[in-house]
Structure 1
Amino acid sequence: MDVRRLRMLLELSRLGSMHEVADALGTTTSSVSQGIAALARDVGSPLLEPDGRRVRLTPAGRRLADHAVTILAAVESARLDLDPAAEPVGVLRVAGFASAVRRSLLPAIDDLQRTHPGIEVRVLEYEPLEAFGLLARDEVDLALVYDYDLAPADWREDHEVVPLWQVEWGVGVPTRDRGLTLADLADRDWIINSRNTADEDALRTLASRAGFVPRIAHRIDALELVDDLVVAGRGVGLLPRGRASRRGVSVVRLRDPGLWLRAYAVTRRGRATWPPLRAVTERLATG
């Protein structure tokens, strides 16, 4: 059903005259008559009946006019929701890795509660491969993801990517071994991420340049558990520098080349103008 015709019917139910409807909608009486006749054909039921020199709504017409109130309100709500100039209102679903949620998203949510209280942000903790799957299925609106400068990801096809920040990474070793180089660690067991492939790609690139193939023994998601394994002498692994690691763990700086984790906010192409999504990504980009 054409919503313009529904509006004509609704106005006729309120005003009682096609002439008055035409004046209210800025059109002609003939256009109103033709529009309501076409609507009757769409629904397969007469909507008007004679009432002396005038017309009135049939029972079916009155029921449809009642529905039109809800339908037109929903259409207007959808228009405002999608209007780039509208005040951001709605539920925004964000999937992201833990560090980005803590460092970027939580402060953004605090700010947005003051500036755009109509936005409700729902947080899901996922690694990049998982987050992209959710984004592809429209189960989330925004993904906070990462790659490494030595293992860059190509996410730009069908996506809009906003760079956020970068953090230097090194190799977490027992403190007694903090003077060792990467090549000195060739015979150690290595710990990599269990839910993403980016750090394994970066590690293999680093190891190749140092002349060895890493022996991957453990696949761990939580950085705190990586710390525990390092302290226990069960392996070494990539860890962020500047983070407060467990006592007994030192994060050795990598040189020539170094290693940097890069964080991004990613949306599906064409979605970024939705006001709640735009407000959140703009806040993340400044942050």
Structure 2
Amino acid sequence: MDVRRLETLLMLSRLGSMRAVADEMYTTTSTVSQQIAALSREAGTPLTEPEGRRVRLTPAGRRLAEHAVTILAALEAARLDLDPTAEPAGTLRVAGFGTAIRRSLMPVAACLAVDHPKVRIRIHEHEPIEALSLLASDDIDLALTYDFNLAPAPLDRSVTSRPLWSAPWSLGVPATDPPLDAPAPEVFARYRDAEWIANSRGSADEEVIRTIARMADFDPLVTHRADSLLLLQDLVVAGLGVGLLPADQPTRPGVRLLLLRDPRPVLRTYAVVRAGRTGWPPLALLLNLLQTAPPPPT
């Protein structure tokens, strides 16, 4: 099978329309259609079917697109093996939560733009459960995710996870509240009658809240949900509740961070890829840069 046609099929599976593929490849829709038709003849089965004014991949087309990922990665790895001076090339689709994008990915992306201009990154902001779903459907190449030591996230054998950095978290309360140096259950006990704020797009921080609250013998009332940590702080300042916040980041005026220990909640970040894909040179390069980058500033 022609490699260029496999690349076209893979791009169609990812972008969803021949027009988008044509724009990405700087060619015409007619040329893309001809490439897919020729690949269908090579495969001996239809790879696309009409869907309104557009086309979609047939089951055979989706399976071949899956194979194309591995085939094209192997060819790229072979090219670099035969010519170690060759530059990795390709477009990496990365999804991750905002903090990891700002603290880990953006500095690396800036380095890639200078040192490896043939490697391009497309960035999408998503919470871990969303990013892992996109990874499973091959809509992205790498997911930046997190969990907490008190709420570890299970991963199946279809993915490979590499640890990046970790950060302790504290309890964000109104600045008018007095300090309290005590084990986490005692800190939580002070707020047993308070309203609590949790993430609106993930459950990890709420699991931590409920884990520590159980140690203090109460069931927290989670009444507000916010995706943005800045919005969470606004809610705290307004006296609408308390919630978990990074201990290593500055807070807005009006917010006090109470240290949590015994147990101490720690957020742990990961770079996650599909199993068997780490050999693709652009992805291997990005993983290496992410893992060897200096720890993010506190």
TM-score (norm 1): 0.71
Please give the per-residue CA displacement for 1:181-212, whole angstroms capped at 9, x wherever unaligned.
Answer: 22101110000000011111111111111221
**Rg larger for:** 1
The equivalences for 1:81-230 within 5 A come to: 81-83=76-78, 85=81, 87-180=87-180, 181-230=187-236
SS in 2 for 1:123: strand
CA distance in 1, matches of 2:277, 2:73: 15
Contact 1:178–1:252 (8 Å) recurs in 2 = no
The equivalences for 1:274-285 within 5 A come to: 274-285=280-291
CA distance in 2, matches of 1:238, 1:80: 46
The verdict on how the C-alpha distance between 1:207 and 1:195 changes in structure 2, with shifts beyond 3 A counting, is same
CA distance in 1, matches of 2:246, 2:235: 16
Contact 2:74–2:279 (8 Å) recurs in 1 = no
State percent identity of aligned pairs.
Answer: 50
Q: CA RMSD in A?
A: 2.0
* Cross-structure match for 2:47: none
Q: CA deviation at 1:157?
A: 2.1
Contact 1:182–1:254 (8 Å) recurs in 2 = no
Please give the per-residue CA displacement for 1:129-151, whole angstroms capped at 9, x wherever unaligned.
Answer: 00011001100000000000001
Please give the per-residue CA displacement for 1:80-125, whole angstroms capped at 9, x wherever unaligned.
Answer: 4343635310110000000000110011111112221110000000
Please give the per-residue CA displacement for 1:54-96, whole angstroms capped at 9, x wherever unaligned.
Answer: xxxxxxxxxxxxxxxxxxxxxx987643436353101100000
CA distance in 1, matches of 2:119, 2:215: 47
Q: CA deviation at 1:126?
A: 0.3
Q: Which amino acid aligns with 1:248?
A: G
CA distance in 2, matches of 1:163, 1:133: 19
CA distance in 2, matches of 1:2, 1:92: 22
Contact 2:73–2:277 (8 Å) recurs in 1 = no
CA distance in 2, matches of 1:78, 1:278: 11
* Cross-structure match for 1:13: none
CA distance in 2, matches of 1:214, 1:94: 35
SS in 1 for 2:176: helix
CA distance in 2, matches of 1:177, 1:100: 31
The verdict on how the C-alpha distance between 1:249 and 1:77 changes in structure 2, with shifts beyond 3 A counting, is closer
The verdict on how the C-alpha distance between 1:168 and 1:178 changes in structure 2, with shifts beyond 3 A counting, is farther
CA distance in 2, matches of 1:214, 1:143: 31
The verdict on how the C-alpha distance between 1:2 and 1:176 changes in structure 2, with shifts beyond 3 A counting, is closer
CA distance in 1, matches of 2:277, 2:216: 43
- 1:263 aligns to 2:258 (yes or no): no
TM-score (norm 2): 0.69
Gap regions ≥5 residues in structure 2: 4-41, 43-70, 181-186, 294-298
* Cross-structure match for 2:21: none
SS in 2 for 1:155: coil
